Structure 1
Amino acid sequence: MADSPEVLQGYLEKAELVARKASEIVDEALSKGERRDASIKGINTSDLVTETDLAVEKFVFEELRNYYPDHKFIGEESVSSGGGSCTLTDTPTWIIDPIDGTSNFVHGFPFSVISIGLAVNKELVVGVAYNFFQRQMYTARKGGGAFLNGKRISVSNVTELNKSIVITDYGSTRQDFEFIPKVEMMKALAGDPGHVHGIRTLGSAVASLCMVASGRAEAYFEYGVHCWDIAAGAVIVREAGGIAIYPTGSELDIMGRGILVAANVELAKSIVPILKHIDYPRD
């Protein structure tokens, strides 16, 4: 069976190996001081791409294709450049963000992640997220638990929103229709009554998801994310005991441009009524 534990474990081990090898490209760029060689992808100056992003994605694609020539691939940089497809089918599909948190990478802010997720029959089943600054390797497969550098991790046991840290972000596109509601949601969570312990923004969806999976934050939500931002991290959160859903409270839609993860159902139910839906085009 394509989704047997043994097969999924094999996928996971290959993805972890590829992520570690890909990090050598990043290390070389950092050693040469190349991290600041960035260009703007879109109309917003915060939407950046570097030669390292492109090199890492190319390497990951090639390595995984050598192992799995019949699989499909979705990558942030190839889709952004118009050279790749963003179509999810039942065929095993690797969903890759070569450097999630490119602005962080450019500035040396230590929350940048090589993210490799796998969907089989449109279900997320494998996640690998490597924070190369902090040498933190998060791994998970469906039914196998979640791990940080080989040690099992689990979500927080906090159930009250007013005892929680919640992560969110502005995103790289900041037009009024999206930026204003995001600020209002932060204000609603941080203000009285029943305000949270803190709101955090890390500049990386994958790093944020891993913070929830490892129990360092209780929840994370964001509108405007793409499938490559959440594919690996959603698996890691679920396997750490958390939940991953759409911000309206419905089932997570990989291509739906929004996510809410929480340590437990109680927290998720507390957060959903506070959020304001932002309508983005699907991936």
Structure 2
Amino acid sequence: MDDPWQKAYDFAVEVARKAGAEIRKAGESEIRVMTKSSTVDLVTKTDERVEKIIIGSLKEEFGEGTHCFIGEESVAKGETCVLTDKPTWIIDPVDGTTNFVHGFPFVAVSIAFAVNKELEFGVVYSCLEDKMYKARRGKGAFCNDEPIQVSDVKDINKSIIISEHGTDRSPEKVTKIFSTMQKILCIPVHGLRGSGTAATNMCLVATGAVEAFFEIGIHCWDIAAGAVIVREAGGILLDVDGGPFDLMSRRMVSANNDIIAKRIIKEIEAFPVTRDDAPIQKK
């Protein structure tokens, strides 16, 4: 029996590489930006151009109207963000826009594919590093075609944890974010890190470079591809309260194992965020 999604998986890798080349080409020349939700959440012309390249290529390959799309820039312009049973691409064209604008060298293209609301594969191309991470459900995870797996560390005191402070600068949320980081650092752990891109952070968990990544306020397009890669590398995904991972909840802990994840969860000070699939409020 033919594999129904192998072609889509292979094409996603090809498109991610094409998109990454476009990002590198833009380089430091893309300095004029517009703001989205805040001055910290930057969107460049490169974001919009790369998303059009990705979605246009996929529609051309698979036929207009056959697949659904959830793209960061499309949602920012008012399109709905609802995951249905239909074949759906979940895309972040430039994960790490702020990094890109400042020349900080971690920028990723993130492409995931879901059917019947289940993630089938994920591709994350860290284009400035030229590292292609990819995984298919039940078939393992890879970086530049070499198998990867999470670390075997079970002692939280010997772990490195990744997190980000997000784009919301409201004092209440910033206080909780840094209070959580302080408590985790003082467990103590070996260190806290952050690359500035959720997709890359998840791939670092998958390769065993760090033991866990957690964040509240991320979006489905930031983590969908990374979620497949972490799972296929042997890791786990949970909600920040220890419950099941929910792609649309904007809350996530990804870790090498249950022991590390649950120890981190004890220290997380959660705060409310609006789900990605919440109904759009009419003005």
Class of the TM-score when normalised by the shorter of the 2 chains: over 0.9
Q: Which residue of 1 aligns with 2:280?
A: none
Ranges of 4+ aligned residues in structure 1 off by more than 3 Å? none
| Aligned 1:128-147 pairs, distance under 5 A | 128-147=123-142
Q: Which residue of 2 aligns with 1:79?
A: 75
Percent identity over the alignment?
Answer: 47
Q: CA RMSD in A?
A: 1.3
Matched, 1:179 2:174: yes
* 8 Å CA contact 1:213, 1:237 repeated in 2: yes
Letter of the structure 1 residue corresponding to residue 43 of structure 2:
V
| Aligned 1:129-168 pairs, distance under 5 A | 129-168=124-163
1:53-94 deviation line (CA, Å, top 9, x unaligned): 000000100111122331100000111122x22111011110
Unpaired stretches in structure 2, ≥5 consecutive residues: 277-283
1:110-150 deviation line (CA, Å, top 9, x unaligned): 11100001111111121000011100000001011000001
1:214-235 deviation line (CA, Å, top 9, x unaligned): 1100000000011001100010
TM-score using structure 2 length: 0.94
Letter of the structure 2 residue corresponding to residue 53 of structure 1:
D
- Match of 1:124, SS? strand
Instruction: Return the alpha-carbon distance in structure 2 between the equivalents of residues 205 and 275 of structure 1.
Output: 18
* 8 Å CA contact 1:8, 1:141 repeated in 2: no
| Aligned 1:220-235 pairs, distance under 5 A | 220-235=213-228
Equivalent of residue 247 in structure 1, options 240, 244, 247: 240
Q: Which residue of 2 aligns with 1:39?
A: 34
Equivalent of residue 97 in structure 2, options 95, 102, 111: 102
1:132-191 deviation line (CA, Å, top 9, x unaligned): 110000000101100000100000110111110000010012212321111010000011
Displacement after TM superposition at 1:8 (Å): 3.1
Equivalent of residue 51 in structure 2, options 47, 57, 80: 57
Equivalent of residue 21 in structure 1, options 1, 18, 22: 18
Instruction: Return the alpha-carbon distance in structure 2 between the equivalents of residues 161 and 176 of structure 1.
Output: 29
1:190-218 deviation line (CA, Å, top 9, x unaligned): 11xx3110011211111100110011000
Q: Give the count of matched residue pairs.
A: 274
* 8 Å CA contact 1:169, 1:203 repeated in 2: yes
Letter of the structure 2 residue corresponding to residue 21 of structure 1:
K
Matched, 1:261 2:263: no
* 8 Å CA contact 2:21, 2:127 repeated in 1: no
- Match of 1:7, SS? coil
Displacement after TM superposition at 1:26 (Å): 1.3
- Match of 2:8, SS? helix
